[in-house]
């Protein structure tokens, strides 16, 4: 795909199109800053997609920023009023191939939230279900998946595979 630019009329000036092209090229080659974290295991849920079994490891790290400090009642009211102002910062990891308990291939994703928020979530079915829903939807959007809305928490397994 070639771009054509009109000639400059003033001597010594560059066509704006070339400058814009160089700026665009630089923007495309620089990656947004990212930080490697080593999340701690939390719990694992199992669901599936058209590709097969899917495990989502809900992990936590103090490196993830916490969400705004609101009560469950305030949060429930925001959701009922369809206010999109509440955000739960989370890191959605890359898919990794694993073997399930029967030795069958499956896919696992690591999703990390703030450690303090994770501790709060452990005592609240409402927050836990909200995080799982947001994590599922985030993974579906990020990786163009269609996950089954039915899921099951793994009782004796805090994570599937190794957490990265």
> pLDDT band for position 65 (50/70/90)?
very high
The 10s digit of each residue's pLDDT in 77-110 is 877 776 666 788 999 999 999 998 899 999 999 9
Residue 20 or 64, more confident: 64
Q: Which two tokens stand for residue 99?
A: 């073997």
pTM more than 0.85: no
How far apart are the C-alpha atoms of 136 and 42, rounded to whole Å? 16
Output the CA angle 142-153-159, nearest 5 degrees.
Answer: 70
How far apart are the C-alpha atoms of 130 and 104, rounded to whole Å? 29
């Amino acid at each position: 795909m070639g771009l054509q630019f009109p000639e400059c009329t003033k001597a010594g000036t560059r066509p704006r199109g070339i400058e814009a092209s160089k700026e665009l090229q630089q923007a495309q080659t620089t990656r947004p800053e990212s930080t490697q974290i080593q999340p701690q295991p939390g719990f694992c849920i199992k669901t599936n997609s058209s590709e097969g079994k899917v495990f989502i490891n809900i992990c936590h790290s103090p490196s993830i920023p916490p969400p705004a400090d609101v009560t469950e009642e305030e949060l429930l009211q925001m959701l009922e009023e369809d206010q999109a102002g509440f955000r739960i910062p989370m890191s959605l990891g890359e898919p990794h191939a694993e073997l399930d308990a029967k030795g069958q291939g499956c896919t696992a994703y690591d999703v990390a939230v703030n450690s303090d928020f994770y501790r709060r979530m452990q005592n609240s079915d409402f927050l836990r279900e909200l995080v799982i829903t947001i994590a599922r939807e985030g993974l579906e959007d990020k990786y163009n998946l269609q996950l089954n809305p039915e899921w099951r928490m793994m009782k004796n397994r805090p994570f599937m595979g190794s957490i990265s």
